[in-house]
Amino acid sequence: MKKLKHLILSAGLLSMVALVAVGCGSTQTAAPKADATKTTATAAATYVGDDTCNSCHGTKVTAFHTTKHSTAFQPLSAFKLSNAPTTLTLFDGVDTNNTKPTQVDLSKIKIYGVMMNEYVMAEVPGFKNKIYRIAKLVKNGDQYTLDAAKSVDVDKDGKPDWQAADGTSCASCHAPGVPANSPSAGISCESCHGPGSNHVAAPDDKKKGTIMASPRNALPDSDTCLKCHNSDPVKDATTGAIVTNNHQGTRDWAFSKHNTSGMTNGCLTCHGPHKANANGVLIKKDNPVDICNSCHEGKIDQAKLDAIMWKNTTDPNGHVTRDHSFGAMKYQDMGDDPATKQIEIKNQTYLDIIKKALPDLAK
């Protein structure tokens, strides 16, 4: 690695690298647990929604609308439905002892929107939890059919019922504005910057410091991106094996030298927070290889990038994500059993690293 460091220094990045290492102090050795509600510095502020930011930060808001963050949660009215029931008969999937059906008038309940073009998130009066996935959208050409979020014969009459599945746990990442009481239900400016009412109310010449300016470093035990993009391996519930699966897109980042060396700017080395590239991806250059080569000096081509950031194409839940360990957890060294859909991590060196960083997994 001496050689690489040398290249980086000779590329004139020494001062930047040193500043980052000393200045942010947020180098992570273990990925934190997801906590999408935690913010600091603006304790008394409330959420005002993206439309309010738009009046002064119009350019940023327009740029943000090019990102998948902006479209990850959309109003139900954005989808053309081929069947449009006005009422639904739902069963509470959280309070499973309750086998009584609830008749729901769709025009009367609070429908927050649709997450990932798939689940309709809403409140059902009388149900145990606040947020439910009341239905699933199934794509059919350019139209969608409203279907059961979960299909279970709850009342044991031999026919499948529509069971509303809990949406509370999903909301922390997919509809963070709902638990935060923001006018913007999905991922908004305030999902990363924290509530903005104090900032909006402050006079123009006193706005500085009234909202988190660099949210990535402002959270004491967390990283803004990692709140939602958890990178940890997990334990398979049935076999007890430690597996690489996760559906949040940044497998094994915590173990990468990009993270642990303190010599990069974390996720923001390659991803920007506000604007998608020409391919609609939240990455700083149109060709990702160009980013690598700004430090690795022509050593990385697309084939190398694809080998380093290998995709988990066998994920049992169909979540295809790229490895973000940047060589610290190579597929060929995992000890995977190719006969199973899971990718097991059996390499003792890797297990030692994981168990040191994530003691809970060692139990």
CA atoms of 349 and 326, how far apart (whole Å): 16
Would you give the binding string for ligand HEC spanning residues 46-65, x where CB under 6 A is met?
Answer: --x-x-xx-xxx--xx--x-
CB of 156 to ligand HEC, least distance (A): 26
CA atoms of 153 and 160, how far apart (whole Å): 4
Number of residues that bind ligand HEC (CB under 6 A): 94
131 binds ligand HEC (CB under 6 A): no
Q: Which of 308, 351, 358, 361 touches ligand HEC (CB under 6 A)?
A: 308
105 within 8 A of 86, measured Cβ to Cβ: yes
CB of 86 to ligand HEC, least distance (A): 25
Tokens 């996720």: give the residue: 267
325 binds ligand HEC (CB under 6 A): no
Helix, strand, coil share of the chain (percent; to 5): 30, 15, 55
Tokens of 273: 């927070």
292 binds ligand HEC (CB under 6 A): yes
Buried b (16+ CB within 10 A) or exposed e, 292-303: bbebeeeebeee
Q: Which of 300, 343, 353, 354 touches ligand HEC (CB under 6 A)?
A: 300
Would you give the binding string for ligand HEC spanning residues 159-188, x where CB under 6 A is met?
Answer: ----------xx-xxx-x----------x-
267 binds ligand HEC (CB under 6 A): yes
CB of 239 to ligand HEC, least distance (A): 21
3-state SS record for 209-275:
CCCCCCHHHHCCCCCHHHHHCCCCCEECCCCCCEECCCCCCCCCHHHCHHHHCCCCCHHHHCCCCCC
In this chain, which stretch among 78-86, 139-147, 236-244, 304-312 interacts with ligand HEC, using CB under 6 A? 304-312
285 binds ligand HEC (CB under 6 A): no
CB of 326 to ligand HEC, least distance (A): 4
Q: Which residues inside 89-128 make contact with ligand HEC, applying CB under 6 A?
A: 116, 118-119
3-state SS record for 268-294:
HHCCCCCCCCCCCCCCCCCCHHHHHHH
326 binds ligand HEC (CB under 6 A): yes
30 binds ligand HEC (CB under 6 A): no
